[in-house]
A and B are shown apart, each in its own frame.
Chain A
Amino acid sequence: MSKAVLSPPGSIVPLLGNEAIARGAIEAGLDVAAAYPGTPSTEIGETLAEAARELGFHFEWATNEKVASEVAIGAAWSGLRAMCFMKHVGVNVAADALFTLTYAGTIGGLVVVSADDPHAHSSQNEQDNRHYAVAMGLPMLEPSTPQEAKDLVYRAFDLSERYALPFLVRSTTRISHTRAPVRLGEIRERRGKGRFKPPEPDRYVQVGAIARKHHRELLEKLTRIERELAPELAEVRGGSGDLGVITSGVAYAYVLEAARAMGLDVPILKLTMTNPLPAERIGEFLRGLQRVLIVEELDPYLEERVKAIAKDTAPDVEILGKAQGLLPRVGELNIRLVVGALSRVTGRPSPIDFSALEERAKPALELAVSRPPVMCPACPHRASGYVIRRAAGTAVYLNDIGCYALLFQRPFNLGDVTHAMGSGVGFANGISLATDQKTVALIGDSTFFHAGIPALINAVHHKRKFLLVVLDNRITAMTGHQPHPGVPVSATGEEVPALDIEKVVRGLGVEHVQVVDPFDFKAAENAVREAMKHDGVSVVIMRRECALLTVRRLRREGVKIVPYRVDPEKCTYCRVCINTYACPAFVDTGKVVEIDPTVCFGCGSCVDVCPYGAIEPMEGSLDWRGEKIGV
């Protein structure tokens, strides 16, 4: 967290959208927040975790998004102000609780934040969670800058209490991960302790007739919100002429700049509340125009709804957008794409000849060999992948969500499937049932707790035969090192009981369980070989701390990181190190392999990979295996 988040009211500080969301909640008097880390939402939690230590409210990294939502809901039903937040796919996990929540309503202000990831920068899909808001009956607000993100979250708490309904704030990567100056407001007092007291006896009991009654009430609330609130959460910005633009979220920023670049002064309707939509306001806007371009990322959510509204209010207005292919449904938007759409609609030329720029750039771009993310130097998952590849051989490999998902890449090829949290173990159930193929599922420690356990129970109960490798790096690494139930510290630094994965697995009835250090190639390979022979579900836990944590700790302790080197006399340029271990520190000079000292963390795990013993420590290099560093 940047220290700026807790600066005094009135100061203008540079905040990431996610930090601004956290600050908004803090200003609103947040009592309880819970979440499961997921890009692009994680920094909300990082910020709250640090602020909670100072201000005394509660924040926790929960086991998964459903549990996190239930923690927040329980607190809000007890009259406190609560928030849960998650990445877009996290809402899938929380959905079961959230759908019924809108029937139940809330007493304390309750805000749900969904951070969507158009472009799937760090995600398995590009799902557009605006549809959830409609399906769940959740009022939805969409900020278009970090400042708005803070202000809307703050306001959402009050609105939630006013309508006794949770409010959804939908962010996207380019809001959550955009830093901009934000003016801070006063921090309201917290309530502290709550008391669970339903407003009516059956308020939180959703069965049959009661649920139908609550469903009716929800629809009435949404009608009220559309009438009372939605119109003021929409704004028209200047402009003249018969062409208008309707937009929301970060797309608004692209529209403003695209219009400026083209010298266009179009009227823009910016929608801040996108469920329920202010139908009358939209109708008024449409009536003054002949054509309207809808600019939004992903699905034609606004476009289709505006068309429906236009049918009743302004049937002659032409609604343009994705249907005409003016803007893409895949990937995120930017100024250039909006310039392109405006240019096609108005017939005005683009201010910049993009194709000429691209043509000119071609030779340079052709040289730019691609660089997808890879596992870090010293990453224990690389060692695990190396060991599994050698010991388990040909098999169906069901990977999961985490840094180790990268093991699908060459040279490991351990990922026939990467799908959703915990799905690897679930699919192993199905594939081992349907085929006679060897089946290996891989799952990380945090993902295991999140969603791996029910599928493992199913496998034990149904006598399945497959190997589950738990890649236990003692942290939720991919999102930036958040603790999980297997770690003895809470988000806010409190000492808490850590659940031992080995005991959990044994407790579930798995009989063949081994724990190994993946840097100990021999022991780890033996463990995999033995486990593959077991007639039933077997589990191998490959346990070694995330290398980034190890390196950080060593640096903190003042230990200098000294890389390893390759003895050019001994190197035969067989490339076995590159072809089987693929550490990003290896450099192929065309004659020998070298180690880039700016990349190598000096773990020494690659020493045994070289058949000629050419990889060696330098003066001061550590040996993470021999010296038991990171285990």
Chain B
Amino acid sequence: MASDVSEFNVIIAGVGGQGILFSSRVITRAALDSGLNFVQSEVHGLAQRYGSIKTEIRMGRDVVSPLIMEGTLDLLVALEPIEALRYASYITERTSIVMNTHLVAPIGAYLERKRIPRVEEILEALQTLEPRRLEALNAVEVAERAGDIVVTNSVLLGAVDALGVLPFEEGALRRALEKEAPRRYLELNLRAFDMGREEILKR
């Protein structure tokens, strides 16, 4: 089924330390289990230290390049709103966006007295790009209700799942999370995932 997809491109963006690599691993696990070819690039080392971080995931029969070409993005998952803006030139009418509304301002911007955009402005700017769909939620707040803010990333995965755009069968993403989450935090992660999913489905 899924393996005849030609190309599905995902960017997961956020700030170092927000669990972006983990979220990517869950998605690629789901791809593999769905018999889907994939290529995923990530960033390690100094760049990880509370700077802008992204992973690019490409799934489908024809993908070989680890990097996505502008204009061909299918899904943008932003763990932080400012980080969603950085990929504006990738966004077209084929792009769905899931964005956490909890803004983390770069400390350097305060030091240089740069203007920090408000979340409403960010949403407006993204909306102007006419994405296929734009869903914003306070995933930190949902994670807190689930039990711990460390599972904010799983809330967003749940929200992504609810969009139904990923080239997987129903339930594949949740099963992948089950496989990838550390045993001790498994329940917490699944709860966060379900709550994130619910958050979108009830809209």
What residues of chain A have their CB less than 8 Å away from a CB belonging to chain B? 2, 12-14, 16, 39-40, 42-43, 121-122, 145, 174, 177-181, 250, 252-254, 256-257, 260-261, 334-336, 339, 352-354, 357-358, 360-361, 363-365, 367-377, 403, 405-406, 409-411, 478-480, 575, 578-579, 582-584, 586-588, 596-599
Query: Is the CB–CB distance between A357 and B92 below 8 Å?
Result: yes
Q: B residues 29-58 with Cβ under 8 Å of A?
A: 29, 32, 37-52
Query: Is the CB–CB distance between A177 and B107 below 8 Å?
Result: no
Closest beta carbon of chain A to B38's beta carbon, Å: 6
Query: Is the CB–CB distance between B32 and A598 below 8 Å?
Result: no
- Decide if B186 is an interface residue (CB 8 Å cutoff): no
Partner of B69, one of A336, A363, A586, A597: A336
| A residues near B51, Cβ cutoff 8 Å | 371-374
| B residues near A253, Cβ cutoff 8 Å | 39, 64-66
**Can you name the residue of chain B whose Cβ is closest to the Cβ of A582?**
B107
Give the complex CA separation of A473 and B107 in angstroms: 23
Closest beta carbon of chain A to B30's beta carbon, Å: 11
Given A180-B40, A376-B17, residue A364 in contact with residue B108 (CB < 8 A): no
- Decide if B115 is an interface residue (CB 8 Å cutoff): yes
Query: Is the CB–CB distance between B116 and A579 below 8 Å?
Result: no
Give the complex CA separation of A42 and B89 in angstroms: 32
Partner of B107, one of A16, A257, A586: A586
| B residues near A377, Cβ cutoff 8 Å | 50
Q: B residues 151-190 with Cβ under 8 Å of A?
A: 152
Give the complex CA separation of A343 and B121 in angstroms: 37
Given A178-B40, A257-B65, residue A371 in contact with residue B106 (CB < 8 A): yes
| A residues near B89, Cβ cutoff 8 Å | 354, 357-358, 360-361, 365
Partner of B104, one of A358, A579, A596: A596
- Decide if B202 is an interface residue (CB 8 Å cutoff): no
4 tightest Cβ-Cβ pairs between the two chains A and B: A39-B45, A122-B45, A373-B51, A361-B88
**Can you name the residue of chain A whose Cβ is closest to the Cβ of B106?**
A371
Interface centre among A361, A375, A409, A587 (most CB of B within 10 A): A361
In this complex, how many residues of chain B approach chain A with their Cβ under 8 Å: the count is: 67
Closest beta carbon of chain A to B39's beta carbon, Å: 5
Interface centre among B48, B64, B140 (most CB of A within 10 A): B64
Closest beta carbon of chain B to A450's beta carbon, Å: 16
Give the complex CA separation of A43 and B49 in angstroms: 17
Query: Is the CB–CB distance between A364 and B110 below 8 Å?
Result: no
Give the complex CA separation of A311 and B128 in angstroms: 54
| B residues near A369, Cβ cutoff 8 Å | 82, 105-106, 109, 114-117
Give the complex CA separation of A26 and B29 in angstroms: 23
| B residues near A583, Cβ cutoff 8 Å | 107
Query: Is the CB–CB distance between A368 and B88 below 8 Å?
Result: yes
| A residues near B108, Cβ cutoff 8 Å | 370-372, 374, 409-410, 582
Give the complex CA separation of A478 and B37 in angstroms: 32
Give the complex CA separation of A480 and B42 in angstroms: 15
Given A368-B88, A578-B107, residue A363 in contact with residue B128 (CB < 8 A): yes
| B residues near A372, Cβ cutoff 8 Å | 51-52, 106, 108
Closest beta carbon of chain B to A59's beta carbon, Å: 19
Q: B residues 4-21 with Cβ under 8 Å of A?
A: 15-17
13 A-B pairs in the complex with CB atoms less than 8 angstroms apart: A14-B32, A145-B39, A180-B38, A260-B62, A335-B68, A353-B71, A364-B85, A365-B85, A368-B82, A369-B114, A370-B109, A478-B46, A578-B107
Query: Is the CB–CB distance between A598 and B149 below 8 Å?
Result: yes
Give the complex CA separation of A261 and B65 in angstroms: 12
| A residues near B65, Cβ cutoff 8 Å | 250, 253-254, 256-257, 334-335
Chain B window 126-157, contacts with chain A (Cβ cutoff 8 Å), 1 for yes, 0 for no:
10110000000000100000000100100000
- Decide if B67 is an interface residue (CB 8 Å cutoff): yes
| A residues near B111, Cβ cutoff 8 Å | 410-411, 578-579, 582
| A residues near B24, Cβ cutoff 8 Å | 179
**Can you name the residue of chain A whose Cβ is closest to the Cβ of B18?**
A598
Closest beta carbon of chain A to B144's beta carbon, Å: 9
Query: Is the CB–CB distance between B67 and A174 below 8 Å?
Result: yes
| A residues near B43, Cβ cutoff 8 Å | 121-122, 177
Partner of B71, one of A2, A13, A39, A354: A354
Query: Is the CB–CB distance between B121 and A367 below 8 Å?
Result: yes
Query: Is the CB–CB distance between B88 and A181 below 8 Å?
Result: no
Give the complex CA separation of A179 and B50 in angstroms: 22
- Decide if B101 is an interface residue (CB 8 Å cutoff): no
What residues of chain B have their CB less than 8 Å away from a CB belonging to chain A? 15-17, 24-25, 28-29, 32, 37-52, 62-72, 82-83, 85-86, 88-92, 102, 104-112, 114-117, 121-122, 125-126, 128-129, 140, 149, 152
Give the complex CA separation of A67 and B51 in angstroms: 33
| Additional A-B contacts beyond A371-B109, A584-B106 (10; CB < 8 A) | A14-B25, A261-B69, A334-B65, A352-B72, A358-B89, A367-B85, A368-B117, A372-B106, A480-B44, A598-B104
Give the complex CA separation of A599 and B88 in angstroms: 26
**Can you name the residue of chain B whose Cβ is closest to the Cβ of A254?**
B65
Query: Is the CB–CB distance between B45 and A479 below 8 Å?
Result: yes
| A residues near B126, Cβ cutoff 8 Å | 364
**Can you name the residue of chain B whose Cβ is closest to the Cβ of A368?**
B85
Give the complex CA separation of A368 and B51 in angstroms: 13
| A residues near B44, Cβ cutoff 8 Å | 39-40, 42-43, 122, 177, 479-480
Partner of A406, one of B49, B110, B115, B125: B49
| A residues near B70, Cβ cutoff 8 Å | 336, 352, 354, 357-358
Partner of B49, one of A42, A256, A365, A376: A376
Given A334-B69, A335-B69, A363-B128, residue A368 in contact with residue B49 (CB < 8 A): no
| A residues near B69, Cβ cutoff 8 Å | 257, 261, 334-336, 339, 352
Partner of A361, one of B25, B91, B152: B91
| B residues near A257, Cβ cutoff 8 Å | 62-65, 69
Give the complex CA separation of A12 and B29 in angstroms: 11
**Can you name the residue of chain A whose Cβ is closest to the Cβ of B125?**
A364
Query: Is the CB–CB distance between B50 and A584 below 8 Å?
Result: yes
Give the complex CA separation of A478 and B49 in angstroms: 8
Give the complex CA separation of A272 and B92 in angstroms: 36
Partner of A40, one of B29, B45, B64: B45
Query: Is the CB–CB distance between A174 and B121 below 8 Å?
Result: no
| B residues near A411, Cβ cutoff 8 Å | 111
Closest beta carbon of chain A to B35's beta carbon, Å: 10
Closest beta carbon of chain A to B53's beta carbon, Å: 9
Query: Is the CB–CB distance between A352 and B88 below 8 Å?
Result: no
Closest beta carbon of chain A to B51's beta carbon, Å: 3
Give the complex CA separation of A39 and B44 in angstroms: 7
Query: Is the CB–CB distance between A121 and B110 below 8 Å?
Result: no
Give the complex CA separation of A619 and B29 in angstroms: 39
Query: Is the CB–CB distance between A599 and B71 below 8 Å?
Result: no
Partner of A12, one of B32, B102, B129: B32
Query: Is the CB–CB distance between A179 and B40 below 8 Å?
Result: yes
| A residues near B107, Cβ cutoff 8 Å | 374, 578, 582-584, 586
| A residues near B29, Cβ cutoff 8 Å | 14
Give the complex CA separation of A202 and B63 in angstroms: 52
Give the complex CA separation of A145 and B37 in angstroms: 13
Give the complex CA separation of A252 and B39 in angstroms: 14
Query: Is the CB–CB distance between A181 and B32 below 8 Å?
Result: yes
| A residues near B68, Cβ cutoff 8 Å | 335
| A residues near B104, Cβ cutoff 8 Å | 584, 596, 598-599
